[in-house]
């Protein structure tokens, strides 16, 4: 079995390649839940839904959010009656979120995901990192901001001075999946808000030390390919480069995959991580996604 640690943009791109070359029944995806919250009366687990939609080929992969071709009738109706949504939720996507909310009244998030994955015909396992709610505190140059207000209303523009999140417990299956895997892949997701929350779960770093772990860097040169990762890394005093990414995972990482453009960093990263793999990591086509996935699989000891 291969386990993948995922957020909601960079790693899902890799999953599109991976699922073409790996039997999905051999895949477990542990997904970040840091950003989960209630919006418009429904529970929004954006990264989980992105992974579910990616694995079932429903994802709107222009935005890495929601279902492709979705309509926005309810969203527009809410706006008209004076109830505008911070998160623009599509109609079919809202149905998924309503179902998850209903299932969570009866079960927990992990069980709700299991049921939804099965309903979507998925053979892979999709596990939330935790069933518990995470508190996230973001301090910016314009004051403390709720995370989604920073992302959406303020379009990630404020300078980030500090970011802290509460520790939560791993959901059932998280530690077991890591321990029973031939390898764990840390996809090119935001190291601070997508991967660190998973690594902060009790027992995860220890379990990773006993497993072969390969990570793909989401940073090329001195910036993230997209999103606010570089702002968050800076706020925590971490160098914004693949060297900074390697330093975050150095206690358990066996191999880091960096982009061709960063080949000059190889020697320096080698002082932190034993193996550095250099390839094209800009996943702008299915071909690149499959090649990257194959390169990762080829690096796993047989």
For ligand GDP, which residue of 2, 3, 4, 11 counts as binding (CB under 6 A)? Answer: 11
DSSP conformational letter for 159? P
13 binds ligand GDP (CB under 6 A): yes
118 vs 153, beta carbon nearer ligand GDP = 153
d(CA 222, CA 244): 10
Nearer to ligand GDP, 219 or 302 (CB): 219
Query: Which stretches of 112-181 are assigned E, i.e. beta strand?
Result: 125-128, 136-140, 143-145, 160-165
Note whether 16 binds ligand GDP by CB under 6 A: no
The least CB distance from residue 220 to ligand GDP, in Å, is 6
As a residue count, the chain comes to: 302
Binding part of the chain for ligand GDP, among 86-94, 108-116, 174-182, 188-196 by CB under 6 A, reads 188-196
- CA dihedral (237, 168, 55, 194) in degrees, to 10, reads -10
Q: Is residue 36 near ligand GDP by the rule CB under 6 A? A: no
Report the nearest approach of ligand GDP to the CB of residue 83 (Å).
25
Residue of 4, 281, 290, 296 interacting with ligand GDP (CB under 6 A):
281
59/255 Cα distance (integer angstroms) = 29
Query: With respect to ligand GDP, which residue has the nearer C-beta, 33 or 75?
Result: 33
Does residue 263 touch ligand GDP according to CB under 6 A? no
Strand partners, 214: 185, 255
How far apart are the C-alpha atoms of 204 and 56, rounded to whole Å? 27
Among 44, 183, 229, 265, binds ligand GDP (CB under 6 A): 229
Within a 13 Å sphere around the CA of 189, how many CA atoms are in the beta-carbon half? Answer: 30
d(CA 36, CA 53): 17
- Asked if residues 123 and 24 have their Cβ atoms less than 8 Å apart, the reply is yes
CB of 45 to ligand GDP, least distance (A): 11
Q: By three-state DSSP, how is residue 277 classified?
A: strand
Q: Is residue 241 part of the contact set for ligand GDP (CB under 6 A)?
A: no
9 binding ligand GDP? (CB under 6 A): yes
Sites for ligand GDP among residues 38-77 (CB under 6 A): 47
Both structure tokens of 62? 């222009």
Interacting residues with ligand GDP (CB under 6 A)? 7-11, 13, 47, 188-190, 194, 216, 218, 224-227, 229, 281-283
């Amino acid at each position: 079995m291969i386990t993948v640690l995922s957020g909601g943009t960079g790693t899902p791109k890799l999953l599109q390649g991976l699922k073409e070359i790996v039997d999905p029944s051999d895949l477990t995806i542990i997904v970040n839940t840091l950003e989960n919250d209630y919006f418009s009366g429904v529970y929004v687990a954006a990264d989980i839904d992105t992974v579910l939609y990616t694995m079932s080929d429903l994802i709107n992969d222009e935005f890495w959010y929601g279902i492709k071709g979705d309509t926005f009738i309810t969203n527009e109706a809410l706006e008209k009656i004076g109830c505008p949504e911070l998160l623009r939720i599509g109609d079919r996507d809202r149905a998924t979120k309503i179902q998850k909310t209903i299932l969570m009244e009866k079960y927990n998030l992990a069980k709700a995901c299991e049921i939804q994955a099965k309903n979507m015909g998925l053979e892979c396992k999709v596990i939330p990192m935790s069933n518990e709610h995470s508190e996230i505190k973001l301090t910016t140059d314009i004051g403390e901001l709720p995370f989604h207000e920073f992302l959406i209303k303020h379009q990630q523009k404020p300078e980030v001075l500090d970011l802290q999140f509460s520790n939560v417990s791993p959901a059932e299956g998280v530690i077991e999946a890591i321990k029973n895997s031939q390898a764990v892949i840390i996809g090119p997701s935001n190291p601070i808000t997508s991967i660190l929350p998973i690594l902060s779960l009790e027992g995860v770093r220890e379990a990773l030390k006993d497993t072969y772990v390969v990570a793909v860097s989401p940073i090329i040169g001195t910036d993230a390919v997209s999103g606010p990762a570089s702002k968050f890394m800076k706020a925590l005093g971490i160098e914004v480069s693949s060297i900074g990414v390697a330093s975050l995972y150095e206690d358990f990482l066996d191999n880091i995959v960096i982009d061709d453009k960063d080949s000059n960093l190889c020697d320096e990263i080698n002082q932190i991580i034993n193996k550095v793999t250099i390839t094209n990591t800009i996943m702008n086509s299915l071909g690149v996604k499959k090649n990257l996935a194959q390169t990762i699989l080829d690096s796993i000891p047989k």
